[in-house]
Structure 1
Amino acid sequence: MDEGIFIGGGGEDYAVPQQLLLKYANRHGLIAGATGTGKTVTLQILAESFSARGVPVFLSDVKGDLAGLAQAGSPEGKLHGPFTERAAKIGFADFAYRAFPVTFWDLYGAQGHPIRTTVSEMGPLLLARLLELTEAQEGVLNIAFRVADEEGMALLDLKDLQALLTFVGEARAALSLRYGNVAPASIGAIQRRLLVLEGQGGDRLFGEPALDLADLFLTDASGAGRVNILAADRLMQSPRLYATFLLWLLSELFEELPEVGDPDKPKLVFFFDEAHLLFDDAPKALVDKVEQVARLIRSKGVGVYFVTQNPADVPEDILGQLGNRVQHALRAFTAKDRQDLRQAAMTYRDNPRFVIEDAIREVGTGEAVTSMLERKGAPGVAERTLIRPPSSHLGPIAEATRAALIGMSPLAGKYDTLLDRESAFEILQARAADAAREAAEAERAEERAAEEEREFKAARRYSGSRTGSTQPAPTTRRSSSSRSDSVGEAFAKSFARQLGTQSGRAIVRGVLGGLFRSR
């Protein structure tokens, strides 16, 4: 079975090997089933098998028990007896306990290496989804990103975006003429959403050093693929953040990886647990994006496996892209449940030995109806399959063990220190400070001119001059053209106020004309 990975035993006596061909593992897959039916163990044995064949894996650990992949199972465990019995029953002669190379990641940096991206890399579409923006608010966000591109300002973290939105809000009159209406209400709504995201810890997602995708493709000294585990137990408290981050990662893989055609085995396998969160209330544009990625990313050598309770959680167009399927039990308690069960059964290739709908309802824990792609990519006949036992530890590991593994990781120290290089916030702050300083200097010049005028008038009165011809007095009156602030002046005034620089004082004509000269 060098060309495939062993899933379990099928047939009437569970002695017929069921395998997933590595050549078609990048044709994506589905692991579905009700809570407690064995989805997590199936995900674990697939991760083990891919790692053993040199294929790196990325998965999210929603409940904290997939960390056991880093530790070998034990013959002293209470499940050792049932595991060895099952291995014998399905003909799994190679069953042995072992650990697998694991890299732990955590958006919050507590249970793994910090994992970050930048605001620019996230982009306005995914960020709008994350912030739950309306169409009008998303339009304003797109304008802000466009302005940042034109001004050459990097958007790295949330304070960069907040400063940029302040700029856009103050300059909305000029920007509206060029890009369309920029409503103050939309700016305010986005800023409030950013505050909520920051309160949920989402600000930790943005910053540098950003994730280097190459770090997801590592293998150990023996050639085993590293299993990248994202700690998601806390992250799941913000389900939209969780779904948006994983979709961003999938999109980055799609955009950055080169075409490889049909490799003998995947370059990476990506498991998307709790996949229904990706599609709940998702706009059509986002669903279309996911469908595009699912359809095309296989040619980059990446296999995507959606893990969810019900196949109906996945849109039909995307479900049709999932060639390898492991369907654990579905419970039919309501009319909708029965309809979903019937639809799930209809997606499998019939087996004359049993009724698929009945089998999906009846399979026990650790058993599933499977269908894997066969030669030439044809769907295999549905089969009742007893899933093989895991070789690694089943369940969570001790915190001390996790900490030791993080310390020994090849990525130890690479992402620990947060960087804060010059970006939009610093650029706008510096420009505003320069503008405020120039305004103050101009104001002082104006005051000196006014003082000279007062002295001149006083000297005339003192000399008792009665001549009709007088020198024209210096004027401090501004030309009417200065009454309408430019985009740069409007922003500089606002930011200057934030910096506490001479609030409310006048700025003479031309002082801020060079606001953008550093472009």
Structure 2
Amino acid sequence: MATSENKMADTGEKLFIGKGEQPAWLTLGLANRHGLVTGATGTGKTVSLQVMAEGFSRAGVPVFAADIKGDLSGIAEVGEPKDFILKRATAMGLAFQPDEFSTVFWDVFGEQGHPVRATVSEMGPLLLSRMMDLNDVQEGVLNIAFRVADEQGLLLLDMKDLRAILSFVAEHAADLTTQYGNVSKQTVGTIQRQLLVLENQGGARFFGEPALALKDFMKTDSDGRGIVNILVADKLMESPRLYATFLLWMLSELFEELPEVGDPPKPKLVFFFDEAHLLFNDAPKALMDKIEQVVRLIRSKGVGVYFVTQNPIDVPDKVLAQLGNRVQHALRAFTPRDQKAVAAAAQTFRPNPKLDTTKVITELGKGEALVSFLEGNGTPAMVERVMVRPPAGRIGPITPEERKAIMSKSPVKGKYDTTVDSESASEMLQKRVAETAAPAEGPAGGGGGGGVLAQIGAIVATIFGTNVKRGKLSTGQVIARSVTRTVTNQVAGNVAASVGKSLGGAMGSSVGRALVRGALGGLLRR
């Protein structure tokens, strides 16, 4: 038995996933060729995901996975040797060894994990448009807003910055239209309303600083095992568009930041994208092109992407063609549409003469799967029916107390927990408005009291309406003008005394009085 157990254990080059007539091995050197885990609800997709995540972690490969229902969190705690687990392990010649894996929890809302943030600039207009469900015209105006912010040197970090630049664009719509194309206040208003919807969905918590440093996903623990990063997504899934766009942003950032490495002996990171169909639902062509590009090229950055969904037909053909490692759990064929989906799923595998793939897909039991991984030369192996090995970690969710204890020992504890509000577009635009509105002041002191006169003239013109034609004056302004005439001599005398001190003696007093009377009198005689 010991020899058989050793044969069924992970090696430094491949992971043991399950066993049928033949063992099912996932080769680490081909794991960055991406993969697909599919099956109906309750057929064992989450357990298969956990088994693969544990294998990658043991091999020193960091993992990122979205946890929709909370079940994947059990990977952080020691597994329990229950009867059905021991029975399955024994049947495939595997010695069950309970284990736990170093885990970091993340949460966009900062409630069950460390906050995950990105800046508005990092998200960019394309993904923001997808997040807010904007049409082409609205997306074009959002692109103009980003362009203006860039040219004006305005940092777009959080929601209030985005609101501020949109307001700036609306105020200068006429000028911007001649330079960039049609910009209407109505379109900006529509974007602002969609932004409000996004805020109500919790988007405001996602945008800001400190922004996520992706290198924090790509760490190993003190034993050399890959850290398992779990995104708590039960609440995030209430806003499917926000969930899908956030994960796509992460993939895009990895693609932009990581250097080319070709085909490494093992991936630098494996990314599991659960409920993957949300990424493709109603996606515009520009976004689909970006997704296809990222999936096709991120392989050479050493990142493996594994989509998890119910049926292969949920994934567009161009993306599906990039997914070489397949795990297919049971599908049900209750309706004609279901039957077509089963047939389509069967056709995605390399045929096995010993299996009627279409029939077997509907007969698979819980924990069973049809598996086809890439072989040494990069071609798919023939499909095999296998029983997936039991996870070494706990199956099912952890308790709030266990989660709290794990977070207290997290390697990123304190790094992202407090929001930082840096000076950015909102504050910079407010300063510009304040500087423009401030009255122009001359130099203090000499100069014949020019600064004083300018202020008096501005006050009189604004408050008492002296810069308005007589026929346009209100009753209050007429009364104010009469009162002003009455006090003119008194004001003149006071200011003249001040000016006189500067000029000296009776001559200064006389000159000062003449200047003030001339200024006020000229205004009041209009």
Scaled by the length of structure 1, the TM-score of the pair is 0.84
Give the whole-Å Cα distance in 1 for the aligned partners of 2:440 and 2:137. 35
Aligned mates of 2:180, 2:459 — CA distance in 1 = 39
Post-superposition shift, 1:444? 5.6
How far apart, in 2, do the equivalents of 1:424 and 1:42 lie? 46
State the one-letter code of the partner of 2:86.
T
Query: What residue in structure 2 maps to residue 7 of structure 1?
Result: 17
Distance 1:35 1:88 in 2: 27
Residue in structure 1 matched with residue 349 of structure 2 by the alignment: 348
4+ aligned runs moved over 6 Å, structure 1: 439-443, 449-455, 471-476
Q: State the alpha-carbon separation in 2 of the partners of residues 475 and 150 from structure 1.
A: 45
Q: By percentage of residues, which structure has more helix?
A: 2
Partner SS, residue 432 of structure 2: helix
Q: In the alignment, what sits opposite 1:160?
A: 161
Would the alpha carbon gap of residues 439 and 370 (structure 1) be closer, same or farther in structure 2, given more than 3 Å must change? farther
8 A Cα contact 2:457 2:520, kept in partner: no
Specify the alignment match of 2:366 in structure 1.
365
Distance 1:169 1:19, change over 3 A: same
- 1:338 positional shift: 1.1
Residue 2 of structure 1: how far off its partner (Å): 2.6
The offset of 1:436, in angstroms, is: 1.2
Could you say which residue in structure 1 is the equivalent of 2:473?
Answer: none
- Aligned letter for 1:150? E
CA shift at 1:83, angstroms?
1.1
- The C-alpha deviation readout for 1:322-354, integer Å capped at 9, x for no partner, is 000000011111112111111111111111111
The superposition leaves residues 93-122 of structure 1 with CA deviations (integer Å, 9 ceiling, x where unpaired) of: 4x3100000000000101010010000000
| 1:43 Cα offset (Å) | 0.4
Contact kept in structure 1, 2:37 and 2:45, CA below 8 Å: yes
Counterpart selection for 1:92 from 81, 91, 94: 94
- Indicate the SS of the match to 1:82: helix
Contact map agreement 1:9 1:91 (CA 8 A) in 2: no
Q: Name which of 4, 28, 53 aligns with 1:47.
A: 53
Q: Secondary structure at the match of 2:111?
A: coil
Alpha-carbon separation, structure 2, partners of 1:438 and 1:371? 75
Query: Which AA in structure 2 matches 1:2?
Result: G
Q: Does the alignment pair 1:83 with 2:93?
A: no
Determine helix, strand or coil for the equivalent of 1:86: helix
Amino acid at match of 2:231: L
Amino acid at match of 2:418: T
Change in 2 beyond 3 A, CA 1:150/1:353: same
- 1:144 aligned residue: 145
Separation in 2 of the partners of 1:251 and 1:438?
Answer: 48
- For residue 448 of structure 1, report the CA deviation from its aligned partner: 5.5
Query: 2:70 matched to 1:64?
Result: yes
Instruction: Give 1:234's aligned residue.
Output: 235
Distance 1:472 1:97 in 2: 92
Distance in 2 separating the partners of 1:281 and 1:420 = 35
Please give the secondary structure, in 2, of the residue aligned with 1:370.
Answer: strand
Three-state SS of the structure 2 residue aligned to 1:18 is: strand
DSSP-derived class of the 2:365 partner: coil
**Equivalent runs, 1:455-466 vs 2, <5 Å:** none
Using the TM superposition, name which of 434-443 and 60-69 deviates more.
Answer: 434-443
Aligned mates of 1:70, 1:448 — CA distance in 2: 73
CA distance in 1, matches of 2:223, 2:522: 83
- Measured in 1, the distance between the counterparts of 2:415 and 2:233 equals 21
SS of 1:375's equivalent in the other structure is: coil
Q: Which amino acid is 1:6 matched to?
A: F
Q: Structure 2 CA distance, aligned partners of 1:472 and 1:231?
A: 71
Name the CA distance, whole Å, in 2 between partners of 1:246 and 1:275: 10
State the Cα distance separating 1:7 from its structure 2 match.
0.5
Cα deviation, residue 446, structure 1: 3.9
Listed as ranges, the matches of 1:159-178 within 5 Å are 159-178=160-179
Indicate the SS of the match to 1:377.
coil
Structure 2: runs of 5+ lacking an equivalent: 1-10, 443-453, 468-480, 490-517
Question: Any idea what the Cα deviations from partners look like across 1:205-263, whole Å, max 9, x if unmatched?
Answer: 00000001110011110000000000000000001000000000000000000000110
Alignment of 1:119-518 (within 5 A): 119-438=120-439, 445-447=457-459
Alpha-carbon distance, 1:474 to partner = 11
Name the CA distance, whole Å, in 2 between partners of 1:444 and 1:362.
Answer: 92
Root-mean-square deviation (CA), in Å? 2.2
Cα distance, 1:296 vs. partner? 0.3
SS of 1:322's equivalent in the other structure is coil
Q: Distance in 1 between matches of 2:229 and 2:364?
A: 31
The 8 Å contact of residues 72 and 395 in structure 2, kept in 1 or not, is answered as: yes
